[in-house]
Structure 1
Amino acid sequence: MAKDGSETDHTAEADPTAARRAPAGAAVLREDKTAAIRAAVFEELAAVGFARMSIEGIARRAGVGKTAVYRRWRSKLHLVLDVVSAVAAEGLPTPDTGSLQGDVRMLLEVAARALRHPMASQIIPDLLAEAARSPELAGALKAALHDSRQGVATAMVARAVERGEIPAGADGGLALDLLTGPLYWRLVVVRDELPGDYLDELSAAVVGALGGR
């Protein structure tokens, strides 16, 4: 750490003009350190859970000092909120395969791949439990796990209505529930493998529940 409070970057020593470009009196936050801290949050959450997670542990895992973390976030809650919000901002691509069943099948594949990830299967249940005690975290998780996906499901259903595959008035919210509920139950709660034809059968069931032929 430099005397002026900025994070030390040895490239500035090699290039004197780099130091002159830094804002006077302001801490220069290096992007590589920020990325390392964010990655460490996921690893620490998966390893010890939110309750036992500490700024010290995150800093150690990221290979930085505690000061580097506190310069960016004032508490572990705000750090997790930021990381969760960043995940929500990435969004989910809206499939357009030409049929509702094809779109549903693609979304199920994406969701299943995400839920199979070892970190996700550890982190999501832990954060959902913690959200019961933290309205701020509950709101961030709702945005990351529900709201950001709702628009995708609504657009998918609207296109299916336009194609005449399902009746007008089909509920995008119901579609999202049907898409994610069974997978979360099987992969995160029960922790069971999906049979080879499970996603195909679930796709057909979702289309049928929405009134598809």
Structure 2
Amino acid sequence: MANESPAPRRRGSARTDALLQVTLDLAAEVGYAGLSIEAIARRAEVGKHTIYRRWPSKTALLLDALNRAWTTDLDYSDTGDLRSDLREQFLRSTSALSEPPIGPVYRAVIAEAQSSPALRATLHERFLRTVERSTMDRIVRAQHAGELRADADLTFAAEVLCGALYYRHLLTTMPVDERAIDGLLDMFMAAYAKR
């Protein structure tokens, strides 16, 4: 029987993509506490040094994996209709937070962050800030386009838009459904839409 040649080694962005996906998959299976660089390296069939060259810790690697999944799949549309774009984004975000790979991994990281100020700071810097900035960018573009009041300071509004649905999803048993999303957007537009 002829010897099969080994699978070609992945390089560059393909290797990065594979490591990030393995990290998400494994975290969904074992949770944050059960995740280790060693287990990720084994599953990805790479040496630990390959991972440590790019990421100093499992936290940094996991947050990069979450950030990649989030920003790749959940970028805001810009159709010129702010309410419609926000609604579409929030529906997709809600779906992502409710199912693998993002949902269970994100909940595990949030739980762990409650007893780790360093993880909480890293979570905000490497993941939540990206979500906040993306929302802020979209509503500021709408303000410049004349959809929102020119005199409005939108900083707090962006935090409320991001935070309200996370609060429901992570801390309550209330549904994050179309009715909740529409109620949040109605409140936002009533406060900030150009008259």
With structure 1 as the length reference, what TM-score do the two structures score? 0.66
* Correspondence for 1:133: 116
Give the drift of 1:29. Answer: 6.1
Give the drift of 1:33. Answer: 6.2
Distance 1:206 1:145 in 2: 24
1:104 and 2:86 matched: yes
* Correspondence for 1:155: 137
Q: 1:117/1:109 Cα in 2 relative to 1: closer, same or farther (>3 Å)?
A: same
Query: Structure 1 stretch 115-124 or stretch 31-40: which is displaced more?
Result: 31-40
Give the drift of 1:98. Answer: 2.0
Distance 1:142 1:154 in 2: 15
Report the AA paired with residue 207 of structure 1: M
Long gaps (5+) in structure 1:
1-8, 13-27
Distance 2:146 2:17 in 1: 46
Give the drift of 1:156. Answer: 2.4
Aligned residue among 45, 67, 83 for 1:88: 67
Give the drift of 1:110. Answer: 2.6
Distance 1:171 1:190 in 2: 29
Contact 2:22 2:44 in 1 (8 A): no
Q: Deviations over 1:138-195 (max 9, x none)?
A: 4442234332233332332223323433322423332322222222122232254334
Q: 1:127/1:69 Cα in 2 relative to 1: closer, same or farther (>3 Å)?
A: farther
**How many residues are aligned here?**
185
* Correspondence for 1:25: none
What's the secondary structure of 1:10's corresponding residue? coil
What's the secondary structure of 1:171's corresponding residue? coil
Aligned residue among 55, 65, 72 for 2:50: 72
Q: 1:94/1:193 Cα in 2 relative to 1: closer, same or farther (>3 Å)?
A: closer
After superposition, where does 1:1-213 map in structure 2 within 5 Å? 10=6, 30=11, 35-60=17-42, 62=43, 64=45, 68-74=46-52, 78-85=57-64, 87-88=66-67, 90=71, 93-131=75-113, 132-133=115-116, 135=118, 137-210=119-192, 213=195
Contact 1:88 1:143 in 2 (8 A): no
Give the drift of 1:211. Answer: 5.2
Distance 2:137 2:15 in 1: 38
Q: Deviations over 1:98-151 (max 9, x none)?
A: 23322321221232122122333322232234345252x444422343322333
With structure 2 as the length reference, what TM-score do the two structures score? 0.71
Distance 1:79 1:210 in 2: 41
Long gaps (5+) in structure 2:
none
Distance 2:96 2:10 in 1: 31
Report the AA paired with residue 24 of structure 2: F
Distance 2:17 2:182 in 1: 37
Fraction of identical pairs, as percent:
25
* Correspondence for 1:5: none
Distance 2:57 2:27 in 1: 14
Distance 2:116 2:52 in 1: 19
Q: 1:69/1:184 Cα in 2 relative to 1: closer, same or farther (>3 Å)?
A: farther
